[in-house]
């Protein structure tokens, strides 16, 4: 399978560079989705367009088990700072998270699987809007799942590029591999007035200082140290001139978790923290924008991927995932079927490697056939399971 994947390296690189030069964000993936759907139809897939706004669902095979392969397609609102020949042609938009390569490798996997005699069905999920949400706070995975993309699926797999690991390696393990996420938005309310007469005000900066200290103490003092959790403040905004105490302060942030009980504990502790504003004579409003669930790799699915990786790449080239509480909405698909995501080493040897979401992010394209082969080999092994 690795040999077959290397044989289509030129197509993989061509697809990846085309997507990289023409990045699209959020749900506005009209060009990307059309190319993907057109290519899949040429390969003989049964294709549904416009799933979850601009997602593409494609199937091949007949009755039996259904294995789904997901690839996210969206880019980021980042101005690219690279100088290679396939640099983004859309100012202020860039594939800085590797979704161009995810899409290309999934197309490559679709091409190879179209030539196989399958003992079941393979469904591809080309997803928009992994990086953000729409006006209702819904991501692409949520939209696609709500429109039946996961109906009848027995297992679901995906991959993500890893610029910290060498080409020829993958990372996989069971259990949590990324965090669940909520965004939160708060207004701390006081009573404004002249900066020379703070005694006649209820200073929202003073209230906020105590609330911020309490928020920063949640993980270190209220959550079990063995439970992964984050409560971060991303912005504090208030006031408009140096000698006026404002009426209110706006604070926003994010929280991360891998266990739902911890999630609920964080929410309860945040209320306690903001209640300090009331105890000091002020008030507050606090709302949450619910993000994706944590990504918990299924044990058995992870074992199948690990075995495929060991057989294709050698045991020494399969390692555990570098765990992070970064968000990844693939967990939405795993609400409907057991699944797992593996990481693919894309480190550029002899070059400075930039992390995901950096304006100089790039990857070693020699990794593309490797990721393609792992997807195909894993899918075939699932379909052969009794």
Q: Answer whether residue 256 shows pLDDT above 70.
A: yes
Residues 205 and 151 in one domain: no
**Of the residues 290, 312, 337, the one at which a domain ends:** 290
Residues 351 and 214 in one domain: no
Residues 86 and 9 in one domain: yes
Contact 377, 105 (CB under 8 A): no
Residues 325 and 343 in one domain: yes
Q: How far is CA 349 from CA 80, 165, 364, 374, in A?
A: 21, 10, 8, 21
Q: How confident is the model at residue 290 (pLDDT cuts 50, 70, 90)?
A: confident
The domain tally of the chain equals 2
Structural domain boundaries enclosing 239:
185-290
Residues 376 and 306 in one domain: yes
Q: Residue 386 has what pLDDT?
A: 61
Residues 278 and 373 in one domain: no
**Of the residues 290, 317, 335, the one at which a domain ends:** 290
Q: What is the mean pLDDT of residues 226-251?
A: 97
Residues 206 and 68 in one domain: no
pLDDT digits (tens, 9 = 90+) for 37-69: 999 999 999 999 999 999 999 999 988 999 999
Residues 226 and 264 in one domain: yes
Mean pLDDT, the chain, rounded, equals: 96
Question: Which two structure tokens, joined as six digits, stand for 206?
Answer: 């003073």
Domain with residue 243: its CATH number is 3.30.70.360
Question: Which two structure tokens, joined as six digits, stand for 89?
Answer: 């042609």
Residues 135 and 233 in one domain: no
Q: What are phi and psi of 318, to 5 degrees?
A: -120, 120
Residues 74 and 131 in one domain: yes
**Of the residues 259, 290, 321, the one at which a domain ends:** 290
Q: Residue 324 has what pLDDT?
A: 83
**Alpha-helix residue ranges (DSSP H) falling in the chain:** 2-7, 9-21, 30-43, 99-113, 140-146, 204-216, 218-221, 260-279, 299-313, 330-333, 368-384
Q: Answer whether residue 175 shows pLDDT above 80.
A: yes
C-alpha 83: how far from chain center:
26
Give the chain's radius of gyration (CA, Å): 23
Question: Which one has a higher pLDDT value, 43 or 178?
Answer: 43
Q: Which residues pair with 160 in a beta bridge?
A: 343
Q: What is the mean pLDDT of residues 164-186?
A: 94
Q: Residue 323 has what pLDDT?
A: 79
Residues 379 and 352 in one domain: yes
Distance CA 14, CA 17 (A): 5
Q: Residue 108 has what pLDDT?
A: 98
| Pick from 66-75, 102-111, 192-201, 326-335: least confident | 326-335
Q: Residue 291 has what pLDDT?
A: 81
Q: Answer whether residue 131 shows pLDDT above 90.
A: yes
Q: Answer whether residue 126 shows pLDDT above 80.
A: yes
What global pTM score does this model have?
Answer: 0.90
Contact 109, 83 (CB under 8 A): no
Residues 155 and 278 in one domain: no
Question: Which one has a higher pLDDT value, 80 or 62?
Answer: 80
Q: Answer whether residue 223 shows pLDDT above 70.
A: yes
Q: Residue 84 has what pLDDT?
A: 93
Domain with residue 363: its CATH number is 3.40.630.10
Question: Which two structure tokens, joined as six digits, stand for 209?
Answer: 């200082």
């Amino acid at each position: 399978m690795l040999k077959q994947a290397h044989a289509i390296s030129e197509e993989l690189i061509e697809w990846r560079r085309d997507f990289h030069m023409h990045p699209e964000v959020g749900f506005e993936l009209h060009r990307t989705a059309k190319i993907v759907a057109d290519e899949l139809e040429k390969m003989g897939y049964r294709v549904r367009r416009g799933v979850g706004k601009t997602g593409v669902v494609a199937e091949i095979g007949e009755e039996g088990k259904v294995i789904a392969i997901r690839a996210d397609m969206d880019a980021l609102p980042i101005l690219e700072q690279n100088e290679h020949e396939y640099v983004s042609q859309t100012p202020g938009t860039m594939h800085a998270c590797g979704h161009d390569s995810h899409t290309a490798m999934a197309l490559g996997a679709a091409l190879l699987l179209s030539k196989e005699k399958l003992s079941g069905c393979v469904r591809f999920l080309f997803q928009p809007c992994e990086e953000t949400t729409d006006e209702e706070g819904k991501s692409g995975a949520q939209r696609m799942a709500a429109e039946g993309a996961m109906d009848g699926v027995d297992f679901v797999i995906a991959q993500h590029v890893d610029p910290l690991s060498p080409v020829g390696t993958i990372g996989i393990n069971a259990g949590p591999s990324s965090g669940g996420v909520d965004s939160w938005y708060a207004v701390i309310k006081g009573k404004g007035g002249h900066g020379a007469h703070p005694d006649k005000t209820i200073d929202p900066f003073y209230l906020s200082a105590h609330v911020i200290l309490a928020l920063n103490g949640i993980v270190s003092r209220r959550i079990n140290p063995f439970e992964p959790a984050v409560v971060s403040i991303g912005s504090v905004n208030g006031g408009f001139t140096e000698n006026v105490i404002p009426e209110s302060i706006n604070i926003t942030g994010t929280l991360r978790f891998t266990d739902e009980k911890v999630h609920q504990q964080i929410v309860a502790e945040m209320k306690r923290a903001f209640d300090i504003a009331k105890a000091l004579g002020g008030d507050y409003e606090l709302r949450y924008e619910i993000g994706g669930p944590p990504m918990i790799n299924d044990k058995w699915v992870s074992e199948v991927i690990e075995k495929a990786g060991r057989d294709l790449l050698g045991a020494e080239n399969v390692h555990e995932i570098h765990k992070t509480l970064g968000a990844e909405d693939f967990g939405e698909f795993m609400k409907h079927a057991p699944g797992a995501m593996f990481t693919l080493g894309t480190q550029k040897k002899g070059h400075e490697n930039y992390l995901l979401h950096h304006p100089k992010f790039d990857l070693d394209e020699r990794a593309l056939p490797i990721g393609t082969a792992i997807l195909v080999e894993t899918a075939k092994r699932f379909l052969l399971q009794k």
